[in-house]
């Protein structure tokens, strides 16, 4: 017998294959992975052409690009949820044993798993930065929650896909926290600590310096991620009702 989750997963797979979402879902993260594979070549090209050594920026580039698949999966699942909301699928599911909460849990778990999986794949397949596996797992957990935050942010405030795109532009602002952590050499950069990617960037930096503060990043970072997630979840459920 098919479980409700199997039914939903098969439905999503059909939707993803049918409307070329699969191409986008696979192409985006894959393009980033390929780009990172060629990063050493690009770095040496820059060094030769401009006599400028870009290798000190490698950690920033890797941490920034490894978060992009999460944003992409948030957008894709945001589109799927909006599609299903338009077609009243969520209302129908809410009267089945799965209920609205079960539906939403499933829809958020998928981008979370995909983002965390791609994050670990990018980090270990490209091997551009050496990340302690425990640290990588800690960061992957935050990356996963961040994908759920992105999905919820897009569907909580958007009425349709056009608004979803407008909000996706604003979602991108969240990632400004990463250059702020890396390049703003002042305590003022802590002003962006309310943005979830801030803690991922901090964890990357502290992991490379083997700083004990990484545990603080994990603890506070996960707390910030969960707080933001809960806020958007509440907004989504309020608007859905």
81 contacts 106 by C-beta, under 8 angstroms:
no
Q: How far apart are CA 32 and CA 71, in angstroms?
A: 12
232 contacts 152 by C-beta, under 8 angstroms:
yes
Per-residue b or e along 151-189, where b marks 16 or more CB atoms closer than 10 Å to that residue's CB: bbbbbbbbeeeeebeebbeebeebbebbebbbeeeeeeb
CB of 92 to other proteins, least distance (A): 20
What SS3 string covers 38-76?
CHHHHHHHHHHHHCCCCHHHHHHHHHHHCCHHHHHHHHH
Q: Which is nearer to other proteins, 162 or 212 (CB)?
A: 162
Q: Which is nearer to other proteins, 72 or 140 (CB)?
A: 72
Q: Which is nearer to other proteins, 45 or 223 (CB)?
A: 45
CB of 101 to other proteins, least distance (A): 26
CB of 207 to other proteins, least distance (A): 27
Q: How far apart are CA 154 and CA 170, in angstroms?
A: 9
CB of 20 to other proteins, least distance (A): 4
CB of 196 to other proteins, least distance (A): 18
Q: Which is nearer to other proteins, 182 or 218 (CB)?
A: 182
Q: How far apart are CA 106 and CA 234, in angstroms?
A: 17
Q: How far apart are CA 238 and CA 155, in angstroms?
A: 12
Q: Which is nearer to other proteins, 27 or 219 (CB)?
A: 27
Which positions lie near other proteins, rule CB under 8 A?
19-21, 23-24, 27, 42, 45-46, 49-50, 76, 79, 159-167, 169-170, 173, 176
């Amino acid at each position: 017998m098919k479980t409700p989750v199997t039914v939903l997963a098969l439905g999503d797979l059909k939707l993803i294959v049918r409307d070329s979402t699969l191409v986008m879902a696979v192409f985006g993260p894959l393009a980033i992975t390929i780009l990172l594979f060629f990063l050493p070549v690009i770095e040496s090209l820059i060094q030769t052409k401009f006599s400028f050594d870009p290798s000190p920026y490698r950690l920033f580039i890797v941490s920034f690009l490894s978060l992009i698949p999460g944003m992409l999966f948030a957008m894709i699942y945001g589109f799927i949820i909006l599609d299903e909301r338009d077609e009243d699928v969520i209302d129908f599911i809410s009267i089945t044993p799965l209920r609205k909460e079960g539906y939403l849990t499933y829809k958020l778990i998928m981008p979370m798993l995909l983002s965390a999986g791609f994050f670990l794949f990018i980090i270990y397949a490209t091997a551009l930065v050496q990340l302690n596996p425990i640290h990588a797992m800690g960061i992957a957990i935050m990356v996963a929650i961040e994908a759920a935050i992105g999905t919820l942010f897009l569907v909580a405030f958007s009425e349709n896909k056009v608004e979803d795109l407008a909000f996706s532009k604003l979602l991108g602002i969240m990632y400004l926290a990463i250059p702020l952590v890396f390049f703003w050499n002042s305590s003022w950069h802590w002003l962006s600590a309310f943005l979830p990617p801030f803690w991922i960037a901090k964890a990357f930096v502290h992991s490379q310096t083997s700083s004990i503060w990484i545990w603080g990043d994990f603890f506070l970072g996960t707390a910030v991620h969960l707080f933001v997630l809960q806020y958007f979840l509440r907004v989504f459920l309020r608007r859905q009702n």
